[in-house]
Amino acid sequence: MKRIVLIIIVFTSAVSVNAQAAKSLYFELGGPGLASFNFDTRFGNREDGLGGRIGVGGFSIDGESLVFIPVGVNYLMGKDQKNYFELGGGVTPVIYSGSATEDNFTSTFGYLNFGYRMQPSRGGFTFRAFITPVFGSFGFFPYYGGVSFGYKFGGGK
């Protein structure tokens, strides 16, 4: 848990240093958060380049719940200020709690991200489609992916 708090503090510090960076909020289905709400930002004043994301997602059924907290870095490459190739990776802490058993646990898994991002330079609707290989103590799943829909604000010169 201390690692998760430290990751969040470092990420929010990097975001607050660069107030002019492009930022996005989006809902992701699939990917490292399963069904998650996410915040993404560029670490510079450019629309492309290095950035990061943090989110929270999961589900609860009959007193059993899983929470996913995807944290990662990404790099956007594009020439037209709207369509980008996204390359990234990170870790997702997983927190399980259940009423049926006393076996609460935390775990993590890693992920890579390869995909398309539509993100207009002056803000507005965003869309992402991607392949996200995941790996951890459970093994390696190369053919996993997802989509996201959201809104970009900030940036645009």
Dist CA 80 CA 63 (whole Å) = 48
The whole-model pTM stands at 0.82
Q: Which residues are CB-neighbours of 85 under 8 A, at least 6 positions away?
A: 76, 77, 78, 115, 116, 117
Residue 157 has pLDDT above 60, yes or no: no
**Are residues 79 and 100 in contact, defined by beta-carbon separation less than 8 angstroms?**
no
The H-or-E segment that residue 109 falls in is: strand 105-118
Residue 112 has pLDDT above 90, yes or no: yes
Predicted confidence at residue 100, as pLDDT, reads: 61
Kindly list the domain boundaries of the chain, sorted by start residue.
2-153
Of the two residues 149 and 63, the one the predictor is more confident about is 149
pLDDT > 90: what percent of the chain?
66
Instruction: Write out the CATH class of domain 2-153.
Output: mainly beta
Predicted confidence at residue 60, as pLDDT, reads: 86
Q: Which residues are CB-neighbours of 4 under 8 A, at least 6 positions away?
A: 69, 93
The H-or-E segment that residue 17 falls in is: helix 2-17
- At 70 the three-state DSSP class reads coil
Torsion sign over Cα 66, 8, 83, 127: positive
Rounded CA Rg of the chain: 16
**Are residues 22 and 43 in contact, defined by beta-carbon separation less than 8 angstroms?**
no
16-66 pLDDT tens trace: 545 567 899 999 999 999 999 999 999 988 889 999 999 999 988 887 899
Of the two residues 1 and 20, the one the predictor is more confident about is 20
Predicted confidence at residue 106, as pLDDT, reads: 86
Of the two residues 133 and 157, the one the predictor is more confident about is 133
